[in-house]
Amino acid sequence: MKKLIICLIFINFYSFSQNKSTSAIYDLIIVMDDETKEIDKKYGYIQKAIDAAKELDYILVFNSNEANFYQKENNSLDNTSKYMANAICNIAKNNYINIEKKHILKENLNDGYLFKKDEFLVKDTLYTNWELTEEKKVIGNYLCFKATTKKKTIKLVNEKEKEFYETVTAWFCPSLPYSFGPSNYAGLPGLILELQERDFVFIIKSINFDVEKSVIPLQSDKIISSKEYYELKKKRMELLKEMAGQK
């Protein structure tokens, strides 16, 4: 299979390398288990996110080494629904991926309460450690192969944080020789056309070559880790609760 991938990349590389940049648009499907849906009945936030996802597009703009990934603006939906959909998928306002540096920088969503605009960037995990398989399927007109990786998540169990590892599945296309995909995933010998996590799926909607959009590198005087962001978010949420209780 590896020989096949290398051959396809060689055949297609020259034609694609002439493009200034390429964009891919993805649909999002949020899938929650029955237990989560039952818990959500009181507030309905998850259901709002599921409904909002049906109306949202996610855009990946990339060149040979860099990419941006973000949700296309949709003013027909309320901000809470969009925020919940992005939070479930861990999507920031803008994501900047650099293959050479093997990192992803995220522009935090400015909610007007917890964080200020341009307060910092979050350096997150870029998943590039894949296990390739020979399993294949056709997505649109593209032959794709299956790859998997493990994602570390932190969950509260009996009020204590514990680490878990979940399997993430990607279907990538060797004839599109770009090592990018939606969310935090890159490093495969072909563009990811479908990405499956436990709670959601990104599926390719369209691909446009030689577009006028350019990849925008993100820069900031302050860059924090995803762990630091998680701790800062908890502290500020606790502070907001205290302030609300004093009123």
pLDDT tens for each residue of 167-222: 999 999 999 999 999 999 999 999 999 999 988 999 999 999 888 888 999 988 89
The Cα 86–Cα 21 span in angstroms is 25
**Reported confidence tier of residue 117, pLDDT bands at 50, 70, 90:** confident
Tokens matching residue 179: 């090592």
Look at residue 218 in the predicted model and tell me its pLDDT.
Answer: 92
- Other C-beta atoms closer than 10 Å to the C-beta of 25 total 14
**Sign of the four-CA dihedral 82, 116, 152, 161:** negative
First-to-last C-alpha distance (Å) of the chain:
64
pLDDT of residue 10 exceeding 60, the answer is: no
pLDDT of residue 87: 85
Give the type of residue at 121.
L
**pLDDT of the residue at 7:** 42
Please give the pLDDT value at position 157: 59
User: Which residues, in sequence order, are CB contacts of 34 under 8 Å at separation 6+?
Assistant: none
Instruction: Say whether pLDDT at 3 is over 70.
Output: no
- At residue 23, what are phi and psi to the nearest 5 degrees? -125, 145
pLDDT at 155 over 70: no
* Distance separating alpha carbons of residues 50 and 31, to the nearest angstrom: 7
Q: How many CA atoms lie within 13 A of 154 on its CB side?
A: 7
Q: Which residues pair with 153 in a beta bridge?
A: 164
pTM as predicted: 0.84
Across all residues in the chain, what is the average pLDDT?
84
pLDDT number for residue 14: 37
Q: What is the pLDDT of residue 229?
A: 87
Task: Name the residue among 81, 179, 90, 92 with its Cα closest to residue 129.
Answer: 179
- Per-residue pLDDT tens over the stretch 58-98: 999 999 899 999 999 999 998 888 888 988 888 888 999 99
Has residue 110 got a pLDDT over 70? Answer: no
